[in-house]
Amino acid sequence: MSITLYDLAGADEHRRFSPYCWRTKMALAHKGLGFTTVPWRYADKAVIAAFGSDRVPVIVDNGRPVKDSWTIANYLEDTYPDQPSLFGGNGGRAAARFVRRRTAAR
């Protein structure tokens, strides 16, 4: 399995400051999935445009691109069901979806 995460970086590529990318890194780590990160900057939009996105996080899992931290979390949950759950089942996923939509509406 080969997962690549495009991760927002500052002028120093070791400075990764996107909380959305942090969410994805934490989800990958919780699932126990190995991944590599590629530093991405705002000026590098062409790099991820091929994946249908102009923002990170974007993962590419065995050639399949997935964008947006929420979509990535759901993808990981569905694709790797034998790994530890991110949501603790359908009820947890529904609660997370509720909180996500409620906080986005503000």
Residue 92's pLDDT is what?
96
pTM (whole model) above 0.85: yes
pLDDT band at 21 (very low <50, low <70, confident <90, very high): very high
Report how far residue 31's alpha carbon sits from residue 25's, in angstroms, rounded to the nearest whole number: 10
Give whole-number Cα distances, 15 to 18, 30, 86, 98, in Å: 10, 22, 26, 32
- Domains (range + CATH), the chain: 3-104 (3.40.30.10)
36-78 per-position pLDDT tens digit: 999 999 999 999 999 999 999 999 999 999 999 999 999 999 9
pLDDT band at 7 (very low <50, low <70, confident <90, very high): very high
